[in-house]
Amino acid sequence: MLTAVLFVAAPLAAQSRSAELLAGARAHIAAQQWDSADAELSEALEFAPYIMDSSWTYIWRGVLEYQQGRQQLARVSFRRALALHPDPGVRGLDTISTGLANLYDREFRALRTFRSWDLDQPARWTTRPEFVYPRGLSARRPAGEAIVRVIVDTSGRVEDRNIEIIAIPDSVFTEPVRQMMTEVVFTPARIGGKPVRSLLYYRVNIVPPGPRDPIRLIELARVELRAGRVDGALAHLEDAVDSVNRATPAIRVYAELVQGMAWQTKGDRMRAASRFDAALAHFEELRMQGVDFAPFLRSLADSIRLTARRE
């Protein structure tokens, strides 16, 4: 019976006009007098003196809608109730309907956030967070520990709107840290075997990457170009000439030539020509200084020079 559902309400609220209307709505729901119940719930919401009264009114509107077979509307009402109060103390919905109780329980677990001491099983990542150190920071090379607080939902994803940066060694890391957390997949926290939203703190030790082989990066860029991935190629070339990787002047010429090839592949003839001109000018300067270029690099420069002449 509907009257078996237990409510915990403040004495003053129980004496209010809203509480009287709510009691009448409950009786009409039990008697399947839907229109009367609907009217009383609308009026109860209008007269509700406290947030808890409004929350309970939405709970009973959810019950009414469920009993009428409108489950989606019942979900919306339960969400509104829980948005007003995270735990209104609903008990006994299973005495009306097991399906109704399960529906409310799903919404309750999906909206309420639990802390570590509430959980039977905390959220655990299935893909480890991977921080990508931003390009272009070779001069300053900031480092340190970032602390981020997130909410992991019942599907195991981090809620983007609930990512809070608690500490960060440099503001330039804020967006990369946020991006990292949105890409992590968790097994959700559980209580009684059921998934729940949970609050999680995560520490990120941010360390600048060590030097990489610039020639290897340029070769990776050429592989990307052959696969038609121009943006990936340009990113590798940018890394290759980063000062941390200590590219020699000759290697920088090699990178400039391949950058020209990348812009040419992208269809940007102006940028391609600019890169080729700069690379060939640097090539000649170094050659006049007695730099002995590798045969493959001399061949590449000659090929580009001849192509430029024909055009």
Domain ranges across the chain: 2-110, 124-206, 214-310
The closest of 81, 92, 23 to 56, measured between CA atoms, is: 81
Give the CATH superfamily of 124-206.
TonB (3.30.2420.10)
The first and second tokens of residue 150, run together, are 């997130």
Question: What number is the average pLDDT over the span 106-118?
Answer: 83
Which pLDDT value is given to residue 308?
59
Q: Which helix (H) or strand (E) holds 63?
A: helix 51-67
Contacts of 233 (CB under 8 A, 6+ apart): 221, 222, 224, 225, 258, 262, 265
In 3-state terms, what secondary structure has residue 75?
A: helix
Helices then strands, counting H and E runs in the chain, come out as 12, 7
b/e burial code for range 13-32 (CB count within 10 A of at least 16 → b)? beebebbebbbbbbebbeee
Confidence of residue 10 (pLDDT cuts 50, 70, 90): very low
Q: What pLDDT is stored for residue 177 in this prediction?
A: 93
pLDDT of 310 > 80? The answer is: no
Q: H or E stretch including 186? A: strand 186-187
124-125 and 186-187: which strand pairing? Answer: antiparallel
Q: Do domains 2-110 and 124-206 have the same CATH topology?
A: no
pLDDT at 1 over 70: no
- What is d(CA 67, CA 47) in angstroms, rounded to the nearest whole number? 24
113-114/194-206 β-pairing: parallel
Rounded mean pLDDT of 256-277? Answer: 91
CATH of domain 214-310: 1.25.40.10
Of 175 and 115, the one with more pLDDT: 175
pLDDT score for 94: 87
**Mean pLDDT, residues 185-203:** 90
b/e sequence 154-186, b meaning 16+ C-beta within 10 Å: bebbbeeeebebeebeeeebeebbbebbeebeb
Query: What pLDDT is attached to residue 134?
Result: 83
β-strand partners of 152: 158, 198
Query: Looking at residue 140, what is its pLDDT?
Result: 74
Higher pLDDT pick, 122 / 8: 122
Phi-psi region for residue 53, left (φ > 0), alpha (ψ -120 to 50) or beta? alpha
pLDDT class for 17, splitting at 50, 70, 90? confident
CATH tag, 2-110: 1.25.40
Interval 116-123 mean pLDDT: 89
**How far lies 135's CA from each of 63, 139, 238, 300, in Å?**
55, 11, 8, 28
Q: Which residue has the higher pLDDT, 201 or 128?
A: 201
pLDDT at res. 13:
41
Distance of alpha carbon 44 from alpha carbon 218, whole angstroms: 71
Is the pLDDT reported for residue 3 higher than 70?
no
pLDDT value at position 5?
Answer: 46
Q: Please give the average per-residue pLDDT across 125-147, as a whole number.
A: 82
Element (H, E) at 170: none
